[in-house]
Structure 1
Amino acid sequence: MLAMTNKFKVLGLIAASVAATVLVTSCKDKRSTGWEYAPNMYRHIAYDPDQKNNNFADGKTAQVPPKGTIPVGFTRFNYPNTRGGYDSASVTATSPLPTTKKSFEEGKVLYEHFCSPCHGMTGQGDGLVVAHGYPAPPSYSKGQSSRGGAMKDLTDGKIYHTITYGVNAMGSYASQLSPVERWKVVAYVHHLQTL
């Protein structure tokens, strides 16, 4: 009986030792060596955008970019949103894109997504918004521009200026279409002017 009790004590001691070992070793992250290769990647010293920053007079970390800066990949359109800017763009602004089948097809897709709800699929001013009671925009091939002249005679610069700034009930599409995409739409609108 004494031998049996000793066996249970030994087995209990072994089981407790194994359990304690498993518990202690499982709490340690086996992937971590305890060393950090680049601690500034984990605990950065840079300010968060919404954090107070005493380095600036207004105390804000997120600052407005300096005047005249241009975002990477942005193309400046140096014509103001005025009648003079529109007339100037009409004479001097031309598409920088080569006339290719690919850019024409991409312009068609962009036109169908962004322009056809108002201007219609064929540019006749018969888009879906007209069915909902909104005034119809002029036809590209038959209509007259609100700024004078026939719509079929609109130049690259006039169309691009209108897409960029909007006119009358049409708002600006500068935030929806990049400058390159706008030129592709201009190319497709020229096609619609001939229909």
Structure 2
Amino acid sequence: MLAMNKFKLLGITAISIAASVLVTACKDKRSTGWEYAPNMYRHIAYDPDQENLNFADGKTAQVPPKGTIPVGFTRFNYANTNAGYDSASRTLVSPKVYNFKDGEVLYQHFCGPCHGMTGQGDGLVVKHGYPAPPSYSTGQSSRGGAMKDLTDGKIYHTITYGLNAMGSYASQLSPEERWKVVAYVRHLQTL
């Protein structure tokens, strides 16, 4: 009889706990009562589009101060003009010596579709009817001179700004990757 009372007492206790959990869980569906990392829900920082009285114009999103450079950004001080192209030809050199193999995959992915895998101007887009770019080893540059005589600075300038039908690759290739492609193009000029 004593064992039966224990089971009855345990059963009543279990039902009471289950009922109290059920009643308290139904109280507010939006809150569990627990809050992990409250600063994720109620942050103290201003939103970019929020009014901010700390600035004279009342805007949170401010234009960066003049002359500042974003972290990780490398400034390219050559204009997208013929004068900038000529200046890059004379003064721009790779900051590091790269093996041409370092740029092979980058060249194949970004340049190969137009210039061809061997730099002969026979890429896939040419087979679809687009004009062929000049061959690196035998072609003539649209700015004058043989493609095989292009300097590192001219190639880098062209990759950065584009030329004729070729668009800029500055957003697809980092400065270091551009120099790797330059090294590979220099290799293709000798083929």
TM-score, shorter chain, exceeding 0.5: yes
Partners of 1:25 and 1:94 lie apart in 2 by 72
SS at match of 2:137: coil
Q: How does 1:81-92 map to 2 (within 5 A)?
A: 81-92=80-91
Give 1:177's aligned residue: 173
Give 1:138's aligned residue: 134
TM-score (ref. length: structure 1): 0.79
Give 2:147's aligned residue: 151
Partners of 2:50 and 2:187 lie apart in 1 by 52
Give 1:43's aligned residue: 42
Give 2:93's aligned residue: 94
The question of 1:128 aligning with 2:127 is answered: no
- The aligned amino acid for 1:64 is V
- The aligned amino acid for 2:87 is S
1:86-143 superposed Cα distances (whole Å, 9 cap, x missing partner): 000000000112233xxx2230000000000000000011101111111110111111
The number of equivalent residue pairs is 180
Partners of 2:87 and 2:109 lie apart in 1 by 29
Check conservation: 2:98, 2:180, Cα contact below 8 A: no
Shift of 1:44: 1.7
TM-score (ref. length: structure 2): 0.81
Partners of 1:67 and 1:134 lie apart in 2 by 42
1:18-41 superposed Cα distances (whole Å, 9 cap, x missing partner): 22224546869xxx9x798x7546
- The aligned amino acid for 2:92 is A
The question of 1:164 aligning with 2:160 is answered: yes
Instruction: Give unmatched runs, 5+ long, in structure 2.
Output: 26-31
Q: How does 1:48-87 map to 2 (within 5 A)?
A: 48-56=47-55, 59-87=58-86
Instruction: Give unmatched runs, 5+ long, in structure 1.
Output: 1-6
Change (3 A) 1:20 1:49: farther
Q: How does 1:8-19 map to 2 (within 5 A)?
A: 11=8, 15-19=11-15
Check conservation: 2:92, 2:153, Cα contact below 8 A: yes
1:144-183 superposed Cα distances (whole Å, 9 cap, x missing partner): 1111111000001000000000011100000000000000
Q: Percent identity?
A: 75
Shift of 1:57: 5.5
CA RMSD of aligned residues (A): 3.0
Give 1:116's aligned residue: 112
Give 2:29's aligned residue: none
